[in-house]
Amino acid sequence: MKQIQNVKNYLTEAGIKPSYQRIKIFEYLIENMNHPTVDMIYKDLVPYIPTLSKTTVYNTLKFFVDKGITQIINIEDNETRYDADTSTHGHFKCIKCGNIYDFSFDNKNLNIKQIENFEIKQIHLYIKGICENCKNKK
């Protein structure tokens, strides 16, 4: 994903007033590209922002998604994850260690048949299996 040099400017350009909480949450997303859940974000940030409310994390992420600077990753039911990289890319979840890996793919040669005349807005490709690390551990 493209580098973001100044979070404050980046938020402003996206039409988001850069409040302290919003900056911290977005910084968290780009520093922790491991696709965190709301709970992970809240637990990690609240030591630094003692007044932080979990509702603010929910509100802020929803706002980010609406404004197009964050995408939701639904690779597993029970856990909604967030990704500041909104480009079309795939996610691999290792069923052993739980890590989620990004990967790129060509959506040109998917050769999709039945939905040719449909208007595509978002493509999500999720793959589950065993990562190289875990495979070698045996």
Partner DNA sequence: TTTAAAATTGTAATAATTTCAAATATGAAA
Partner DNA sequence: TTTCATATTTGAAATTATTACAATTTTAAA
Which residues lie near DNA (CB under 7 A)?
17, 19-22, 37-39, 49, 51-56, 58-60, 62, 77-80
Please list every residue from 104 through 133 that binds Zn ion, using CB under 5 A. Answer: 131
Q: Which of 75, 110, 78 is nearest to 92 (CA)?
A: 75
Q: Which CB sits closer to DNA, 53 or 133?
A: 53
Q: Single out the segment in contact with its own copies by CB under 8 A; choices: 6-14, 25-33, 50-58, 88-96.
A: 88-96
11 in contact with Mn ion (CB under 5 A): no
From the number of C-beta atoms within 10 Å of its C-beta (0-12, 13-18, 19+), residue 120 rates as: exposed
Characterise 22 by phi-psi region: left (phi > 0), alpha (psi -120 to 50), beta (else). alpha
Smallest separation, CB 74 to DNA (Å): 9
Separation CA 102–CA 132 (nearest Å) = 14
Smallest separation, CB 10 to DNA (Å): 15
